[in-house]
Each structure stands twice: as C-alpha cells, then as structure tokens.
Amino acid sequence: MGFKRILVDSFVLLKKCPHFFIPKTVIAFLLLPFFILLPYYAIQIDFSQINTSLTNAESAKILGIFIPMLFISLYGLLVDSIDFFIINPMYPIMVSEFYKKGEISFKTAFVGVLQRFGPIFSSLLAILGLILVFIVPIAVLITVALFSQDSVLLWISIFAAFALMFVWFVFFYFLIYPISSLEKLNFSKIINQTINVSSKHKANVSKAFIVFFLVTGLSYLLGFIVAYLGVPEQIIPMLIAFAVFLFVRVLVAILATYQYVLSAVFYLGLEKGVFLGSKK
C-alpha cells in the first residue's frame, strides 16, 4: 500500500509542479555532445590494428582520435559532476519544500545544498570511490577482452559490471540523496543510515534500478547509431536517428527527474510518514 502511494504521489507531484523537470532537462541537453561525439570517435578505432609496430602516420591518426575523446570525456565528466554533486541533492529539498509550501524554489534548494555541501560531497564521493575501486579491475578485464577478442571474458566482465552496478545502486545510491540532503548527519552516519534504509526496502529500490539501467543503455545505443549514420551519404537515416536520439534524451530527463523525485518521496513517505497533502 505504501509503495503504491509513493509511485502515485511522485507522479502527481510532477504533474502539479512541472518545474521539477527543468534541471534534468538542461543536464540532458548539455550532455548531447558527449553522447554523440564520443561514440563517433570510438567507432573509428580499430582495436585489431593497435600494436607496438605502428607507423608514424598510424600513430598520428590514433592520437587524432584519442585527444578529442579525452576532451569530450572531460567535458562529460564536468557536466556529470555538476549533476551528481549539486543538481541531484537539490531534489529532496525541493520535494520537502513542495510538501510544506506547495511550490519549489531552485534558489532555496541550491542554497540548501551549499549549506550541506560538506557532508553531501563526502558521502557521495565515498560511494563514488567505492564503485571505482571495484569497477576499475572490471574495466581492465573488458579492455583485455577487447584487445584479445575473447568473447567469453568480455561477457563475464560485462555481467560482473552489471551486478556491481546493481548492488551499488540499490544499497548506496538511490537513497543517499534524501538522507544526505535532509538529515543533519555527519559523513559516517549518512552512509550507515543509507545502508540501513536501503536494506529495509531493497525489493522496491531494485525496481527503480531496472528503469535506470534500461533507459541509460538505450541512450548509449542510440548515440552509437547516430554516430554511425552521421555521414552525408546517409543524411535521411541520420536525421531520423538524431530525432529519435533527441526524443530519448528528453525521455531520459523525464525518467531521471521521476527517479530523484521518487527517491525523495520514497524516503519521506516510508521513513518519515510524510505524504503529499500531509502536514509535517
């Protein structure tokens, strides 16, 4: 009963205040160059031809691909960092304000994040570091599998990456934002509270991960399609794919907004007993 009400409340909340969609929509479009250009350069790399006996011309060509990829990756990292450390923590504050006043203020949410930035940043950095510690060896295995063309190792590595992301999302990520933004806790207490609450509701949190994974994967896939079709001889298919890609980016923004509103409503509802229309 409680979880069904949370799903409905999140939807009603977004319907009453569509301003919730603005931050994630801006982030989604700022990431367009990353999703389009990175696959565009990536598909130009022929891993089978990369070896220690490359000619100067071949080395220059590869360097001409990797350097733009580096700058594009740094740009994507900057936008993602703003999203990860500032935009996402604003949502629980905005949801809480809507419950109290029936409206939201981006300025109030932004100031609230800045006031809590130390604990928010340290707790988010900790869970980010946690995933990096485990994902780096898996990334190395995937790279080795690509260079050696070992399909078995590649699929094992991909499955391991998926399993790791699932555990990380369910137990650390989904509820870290409402807890770190709304609760006046220090770093260690934020982590402990997140694990405890997430463990209690892991079945319901798992459902949110499936939506997150499918939409993100679809966005990357369409990015590769746009890059592959983006040549003059295939202008019509390229324009169609690009239009579909823009639609998917909007869809990503909508679902991402719902996801972070849902996490806040989830925490306030199931842990605090506060639902839409109730008084705190």
Domain map of the chain by residue range? 2-270
The residue-averaged pLDDT of 139-164 equals: 87
| Tokens coding 55 | 């000619």
Residue 44, SS3?
coil
Q: Is the pLDDT of residue 42 over 90?
A: no
Cα radius of gyration (the chain): 21
| Tokens coding 44 | 């130009």
Q: What is the pLDDT of residues 196-243, one digit of tens each?
A: 999 998 888 888 788 777 766 766 676 566 666 555 455 676 677 777
Residues ≥6 apart with Cβ < 8 Å to 160: 138, 141
Q: What is the pLDDT of residues 20-35, one digit of tens each?
A: 999 999 998 898 888 7
Q: What is the pLDDT of residue 277?
A: 65
Sequence-distant contacts of 78-81: CB under 8 A, at least 24 apart: 79/27, 79/30, 79/31, 79/34, 80/31
Using CA atoms of 171, 156, 135, 206 in order, give the dihedral in degrees to the nearest 10: -20
Q: What is the pLDDT of residue 30?
A: 93
Q: What is the pLDDT of residue 205?
A: 87
